[in-house]
Amino acid sequence: MTSPRHVRRTPAGAAAAQAIPVPVLRRMPGYLQALRQFRTEGLEWVSCTRLAGRLGLDPALARKDFTALDITGKPKTGFPVTGLIRAIESCLGWDNVRDAFLVGAGSLGRALLGYRGFREHGLNIVAAFDTDPGKIGSSLHGTQVLPLSKLAGLARRMRVAIGIIATPAAAAQEVADLMVAGGLRAIWNFAPTSLSIPPEVLVENEDLSRTLAVLSQRLQARRALELEENG
Amino acid sequence: MTSPRHVRRTPAGAAAAQAIPVPVLRRMPGYLQALRQFRTEGLEWVSCTRLAGRLGLDPALARKDFTALDITGKPKTGFPVTGLIRAIESCLGWDNVRDAFLVGAGSLGRALLGYRGFREHGLNIVAAFDTDPGKIGSSLHGTQVLPLSKLAGLARRMRVAIGIIATPAAAAQEVADLMVAGGLRAIWNFAPTSLSIPPEVLVENEDLSRTLAVLSQRLQARRALELEENG
DNA sequence: TCTTAATCGTGAAATTAAGCACGTTAAAAA
DNA sequence: TTTTTAACGTGCTTAATTTCACGATTAAGA
Ligand SMILES: NC(=O)c1ccc[n+]([C@@H]2O[C@H](COP(=O)([O-])OP(=O)(O)OC[C@H]3O[C@@H](n4cnc5c(N)ncnc54)[C@H](O)[C@@H]3O)[C@@H](O)[C@H]2O)c1
Ligand SMILES: NC(=O)c1ccc[n+]([C@@H]2O[C@H](COP(=O)([O-])OP(=O)(O)OC[C@H]3O[C@@H](n4cnc5c(N)ncnc54)[C@H](O)[C@@H]3O)[C@@H](O)[C@H]2O)c1
């Protein structure tokens, strides 16, 4: 009934279709956040005009982004808030919880372990690993810290698919190798270093310095401009 | 002698030239990381071929990115490692230390306060702010935690330009407003919410869920593909 | 000195992403 | 019931980004 010759990208759709572009995926959490806010405000339907407006995006962009989802809007009305939330969650795989291992129980690792927001993103950290004997055996936010040597074995036994690296950069490659050996399928790397990983394992680098680079360069550029203009 | 009619983007250059594109800026920290590694390996010169190779990028892209810098390479030899490091740092403003305020001394805030890597990025967190009476007055990694009410005044007095938000999303807008009131020029926002900020203040959102969205959707898509193929 | 080979800088081509415009549709108003 | 209006879906246009290609340059080796 809806979108007849429209190519589906959802898991249900056959033949891989087309990969959803990275920029589209990166906007999805923003939509989700705004939609949840609208929902708490009691809104049941929302237009792309309003949704995109809140996020400072072009309405047409939102509409285009949503063609990657299994949902269509209604003219004059827009999209059902709850339905759109569900569609985005389903697209991202956030409707099912997936277990993850975290390596590096330092200050960043502890923050990640204690972060409750990951539940809403389908991520459940089930164990932490470290090499520091002082940390092994302790429990952080209810999660056990285990010796790194147990990682590969446990990963296979527990069929864990996601690994999070929060060790110093110098240790990251070694940890990544263990993760690959343990059969993990995806690595979320917080260490500021580029990893060598076989192509069958997905890697995403969360490098804070990338954002900082944009911020500080722009700030510096503005300063230079002001100095030039005013004096 | 070098690059005669080449338009400069450095602060020294007149008339604003052209803004360096965001994708270029976001690659800079990666180059920097690889270059530092090369330097510790004793390398004095490096070609774009080798540098980009380590990062999985196209050599031509690196060359083009470096046109934003105040440096030129030599045929057959490449770029001087140290010179290129300095040129990138100067471009990003990482050669000067800038003071910053952090708001929200929770688990993420504490991790950021303790992170020594920011020194290399020209960022020096000089004070933390919170509303929790239990945290105010304490000291984290040598940084005082002050009441939020002091932020605006202190920011003006100390001429701090950068603010970091590490509070819950619900408090982020309020904190951002105080930062604007205090005359901060740039905000680095770790709360997963979009802020309303006047255009003269720069904002960069560090939303971890964006990276996670890419990772988990790709993982899910692979799973679906495998299920289809194998059984 | 002359040749070879690696790399640079850059314009042109290709690819990808974003924005626009318009015909269509459904709700609400006349 | 008819008209008006807001918003959808989508093909087309424009802009941004990346890749390709090649002449120019310089170091090293014959
Ligand atoms: N803390 C931050 O705010 C922050 C910000 C940006 C990036 N990072 C990056 O995140 C990573 C962790 O930072 P951190 O501040 O938590 O550091 P940290 O020193 O507090 O923690 C690192 C942890 O890793 C453990 N470790 C070291 N080698 C290991 C190994 N081979 N296997 C397993 N565990 C090992 C250490 O025992 C320690 O517990 C670093 O790469 C850092 O650059 C941190
Ligand atoms: N912890 C993580 O790993 C993580 C990961 C991703 C995103 N984040 C985001 O970072 C932010 C902080 O996360 P967290 O885990 O540190 O939370 P947290 O609850 O540990 O810390 C929040 C801190 O902010 C303070 N605070 C609350 N309201 C305030 C206000 N109005 N003004 C000043 N301070 C205020 C609290 O007292 C507390 O100290 C959140 O927005 C969270 O969504 C955290």
Asked if residue B197 and residue B102 are part of one domain, the reply reads yes
Question: Ligand 1 in contact with A106 (CB < 6 A)?
Answer: yes
Strand D closer than 7 A to residue B57 Cβ: yes
A44-75 tens-digit pLDDT: 999 999 999 999 999 999 999 999 999 999 99
Residue A19, domain CATH: 1.10.10.10
Q: pLDDT band for B13, please (50, 70, 90 cuts).
A: very low
- The residue-averaged pLDDT of A215-220 equals 98
Amino acid at the residue B103: V
| The residue to which tokens 């289809």 are assigned | B228
Q: What is the CATH number of the domain that holds A201?
A: 3.40.50.720
Q: Which of residues 101-160 of A touch B (CB under 8 A)?
A: 107-108, 110-111, 114-115, 117-118, 121-123
Q: Average of pLDDT values for A118-131?
A: 97
pLDDT confidence tier of residue B16, bands split at 50, 70 and 90: low
Q: pLDDT category, A228, cuts 50, 70, 90?
A: confident
Strand order in the sheet with B123-130: B139-140, B143-147, B123-130, B98-103, B162-165, B186-189, B202-205
B118 and B53 in a common domain: no
Q: Determine, yes or no, domain membership for B68.
A: yes
Identify protein residues whose C-beta is within 7 angstroms of any atom in strand C: A 21-24, 57-58, 60-61, 64, 74-77; B 2-3, 6, 47-50, 59-60, 63-64, 66-67, 72-79
What is the pLDDT, as a whole number, of residue B12?
41
Same domain, A55 and A135: no
| Strand C footprint nucleotides (protein C-beta < 7 Å) | 5-11, 16-21, 24-27
A144 lies in some domain: yes
Any ligand 2 atom below 6 A from CB of B138: no
Average pLDDT over every residue of A149-168: 98
Question: Are A192 and B11 within 8 A, CB to CB?
Answer: no
* Mean model confidence pLDDT for chain B: 93
Distance from CA of A98 to the nearest CA of B (A): 9
Cα B229 to ligand 2 centroid, rounded to whole Å: 44
pTM: 0.94
Q: How far is it, in rounded angstroms, from Cα B148 to Cα A23?
A: 36
B57 and B107 assigned to the same domain: no
Query: Which spans in chain B are helix H?
Result: 22-40, 48-55, 59-66, 81-92, 107-114, 151-158, 169-181, 208-229
Pairing of strands A123-130, A98-103: parallel
Tell me the β-bridge partners of B20. none
Task: Kindly determine whether the C-beta of residue A94 is less than 7 Å away from any atom of nucleic acid strand D.
Answer: no
At A203 the pLDDT is: 98
Segment A85-89 shows an average pLDDT of 98
Judge whether B158 lies within some domain.
yes
pLDDT, mean of residues B216-221:
97
**Is the pLDDT reported for residue B224 higher than 60?**
yes
Question: How far, in Å, from the CA of B206 to the mean position of ligand 2?
Answer: 13
Together in a domain, A159 and A205: yes
Full residue range of the structural domain in which residue A27 is found = 12-92
B7 domain residue, yes or no: no
Q: Does residue B203 carry a pLDDT above 80?
A: yes
DSSP code, position A96: S
pLDDT in tens, A135-156: 999 999 999 999 999 999 999 9
Residues A74 and A21 in one domain: yes
- Check residue B55 and give its pLDDT: 97
Chain A positions touching B212 (Cβ under 8 A) are 29, 118, 121, 123, 188, 204
Q: What count of Cα atoms within 13 Å lies in the side-chain half-sphere of residue A143?
A: 25
The pLDDT of residue B153 is above 60? yes
Residue A16 clears pLDDT 80, i.e. is over it = no
Instruction: Please say which residue of B92, B116, B146 terminates a domain.
Output: B92
**Average pLDDT, stretch B4-22?**
57
Question: Do B29 and A215 contact (CB within 8 A), yes or no?
Answer: no
Domain for residue B3, yes or no?
no
Which amino acid is it at B115?
A: Y
State whether B190 and B139 are in the same domain.
yes
Check pLDDT > 90 for residue A30.
Answer: yes
- Give residue B23's pLDDT band: very low, low, confident or very high (50, 70, 90): very high
Tell me the average pLDDT across A124-128. 98
Q: Provide the 3-class DSSP secondary structure of residue B194.
A: coil
Number of domains in chain A: 2
Q: Under an 8 A CB cutoff, do A117 and B11 touch?
A: no
- Same domain, residue pair A115 and A85: no
The integer distance in angstroms from the CA atom of B25 to the C1' atom of D18 is 15
d(CA B12, CA A187): 41
Q: A117 and A199: one domain?
A: yes
pLDDT for B231 equals 67
pLDDT of residue A18: 85
Q: What is the pLDDT of residues B67-107, one digit of tens each?
A: 999 999 999 999 999 999 999 999 999 999 999 999 999 99
Which atom of ligand 2 lies closest to the CA of B193? 41
Half-sphere exposure of B53 (CA within 13 A, CB side): 6
Closest chain A residue by Cα to residue B105: A111
A157 and A203, same domain (yes or no)? yes
CB contacts, 8 Å: B202 with chain A: 215, 218-219, 222
Mean pLDDT (chain A) is 93
**For residue B90, which phi and psi values (nearest 5 degrees)?**
-65, -40
B203 CB within 6 A, ligand 2:
no
> What average pLDDT score do residues B146-174 get?
98
Per-residue pLDDT at A220: 96
Q: Which residues of A are less than 8 Å from B98 in CB distance?
A: 216, 219
CB A102 within 8 A of CB A109: yes
Per-residue pLDDT at B6 = 39
Q: Which atom of ligand 1 is nearest to the CA of A191?
A: 41
In chain B, residues 27-56 whose CB comes closer than 8 Å to chain A: 28-30, 33-34, 54-56
B contacts of A93 (beta carbons < 8 Å): 216-217, 219-220
| Residue A178 counted as domain residue | yes
At A7, the pLDDT band (50, 70, 90 cuts) reads very low
Quick check: A198 CB within 7 A of strand D?
A: no
Say whether pLDDT at A229 is over 90.
no
Q: Looking at the structure, tell me whether residues B105 and B192 fall in a common domain.
A: yes
Cβ of A38 near strand D (distance < 7 A) = no
| Pair (A54, A138) in one structural domain | no
Q: A-chain residues within 8 Å CB-CB of B219? A: 93, 98, 161-162, 185-186, 202
* Residue A4 pLDDT level (bands cut at 50, 70, 90): very low
Nearest to B214 among A25, A54, A210 (CB): A25
Query: What is the pLDDT, as a whole number, of residue B160?
Result: 98
